Structure 1
């Protein structure tokens, strides 16, 4: 599995990288612009990401806007339905407005920080990225 982590906080970035590396190859970006660029580059190289973890609050371009840009790129390239990248939004903000906006923008799941790894694994199973017997 190919994973893109977009996180501006060093500790959160390091934690997600360490945790998700056991599930696949991870790339890291530190803001939304880098995340969209990395996503497009991966598509152009024929090695699309299976999972993108986007922090909602990032400099330059926040996670919600980055998600909209990623979904626009997929639409332009004719990528639909189950072929679209799975997106999990992460944030320390756990209010209903952010949750609603994240799902309205096209994410598959929402994870509040600090990340609960057991719940995160359950999310990965639910969205079909891992089976029940993986790491």
Structure 2
């Protein structure tokens, strides 16, 4: 069972993501970038890091792109090998090409535009090595 962190400030989107992703593993949720970084660090400190992070770009306190950069910088500081890093899927209603490029430059593995297409998200997760629990 994989450990998933859903970082989403919108209640409806958060509930949808939790409902969808519970078929894949255990889900925790945060509502802003600072809480997300805190949860990421706590999971590492407890020896149970997240396998997957679904990260909204537009969040209060610290946006998704800044959160993504901080998490990748923390992984670099901890010398975490690439294969053990959290897989990050950015989610957003923004469909600006530059935002997508920036997210990939900062180290996300995939991008999911809102409203989330379940079939596309299933495919993205499969390509990252995650399949629903039987």
* Fold agreement, TM-score > 0.5: yes
Provide the rounded CA distance (Å) in 1 between the counterparts of 2:50 and 2:130: 11
Residue 43 of structure 2 contacts residue 49 of structure 2 at CA under 8 Å; is this kept in 1?
yes
Q: Give, in angstroms, the shift of residue 76 of structure 1.
A: 1.0
Q: Is the aligned partner of 1:129 residue 2:127?
A: no
Residue 67 of structure 1, CA deviation: 0.6
Deviation at 1:17, TM superposition (A): 0.5
Q: Deviations over 1:89-133 (max 9, x none)?
A: 000001101110110110000000000111001001111122xx7
TM-score, length basis structure 2:
0.96
Q: Structure 1 CA distance, aligned partners of 2:77 and 2:114?
A: 32
Q: Distance in 1 between matches of 2:133 and 2:97?
A: 32
Instruction: Summarize the Cα distance change of 1:45–1:134 in structure 2 as closer, same or farther, 3 Å threshold.
Output: closer
Aligned pairs, number: 133
Q: How many angstroms apart in 1 are the aligned matches of 2:77 and 2:98? A: 28
Task: State the match for 1:110 in structure 2.
Answer: 111
- Whether 2:15 is the aligned partner of 1:9: answer no
Match of 1:66 in 2: 67
Please provide the CA RMSD for this pair. Answer: 1.1
Superposition TM-score, scaled by structure 1 size: 0.95
